């Protein structure tokens, strides 16, 4: 049986990526999350799974969060925030959604490796995660966009801890807000 040692490489890559996120980008995003009436999330592939898990935690915090594309997702409006997770920042479908959100007056934030990408240039704010993507083998020993997706998940989970403190929400309250029709 193979020895499991690559986790050290993965943890080192995640630490390197997260340590390079600009604090002003994080502060802007945190304020946008606090101020938003509703938060909408989207991503494709594994980035979409990260977006969905973030929406789940926001709902457990008592924030109204919606996954774009679900049949129960309401309209986006001016006082809302659209969070897009796209390593390349060039996914055509996500760009169309960003354009629609902007037309509706919503704020848009993108987590990406490419701030100057088509989505990055449309967004009101950008969280740059310097990690390799499925189109860029440089920047990570891991395949495709694994590092970006992992770093996105941990970054967003770290914001949940900050939101818990700022919103005075404890884990017991989050458990009460957890889905009970499973």
Bridge partners of 39?
Answer: 65, 81
Query: Which member of 70, 116, 149, 172 is catalytic?
Result: 149
13 as an active site residue: the answer is: no
In which element (H, E) is residue 126 found? strand 125-128
Tokens matching residue 22: 């600009």
Residue carrying structure tokens 């934030």: 109
Between the CA of residue 78 and those of 32, 36, 106, what are the distances in Å? 12, 9, 4
What is the C-alpha separation between 74 and 77, in angstroms, rounded? 9
Tokens matching residue 105: 């007056």
Annotated catalytic sites, by residue? 149
């Amino acid at each position: 049986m193979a020895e499991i040692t690559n986790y050290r490489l993965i943890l080192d890559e995640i630490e390197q990526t997260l340590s390079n996120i600009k604090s002003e980008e994080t502060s802007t995003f945190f304020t946008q999350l606090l101020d938003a009436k509703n938060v909408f999330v989207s991503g494709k592939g594994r980035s979409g799974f990260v977006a969905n898990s973030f929406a789940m935690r926001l709902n457990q915090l008592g924030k109204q969060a919606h996954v774009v594309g679900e049949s129960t997702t309401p309209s986006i409006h001016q006082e809302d925030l659209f969070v897009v997770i796209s390593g390349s920042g060039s996914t055509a479908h996500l760009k169309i959604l960003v354009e629609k959100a902007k037309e509706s007056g919503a704020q848009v934030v993108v987590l990406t490796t490419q701030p100057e990408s088509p989505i990055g240039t449309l967004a009101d704010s950008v969280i740059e995660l310097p990690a390799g993507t499925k189109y860029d083998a440089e920047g990570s020993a891991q395949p495709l966009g694994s590092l970006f997706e992992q770093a996105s998940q941990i970054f967003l989970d770290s914001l949940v801890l900050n939101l818990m403190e700022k919103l005075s929400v404890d884990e017991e309250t989050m458990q009460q807000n957890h889905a009970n029709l499973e």
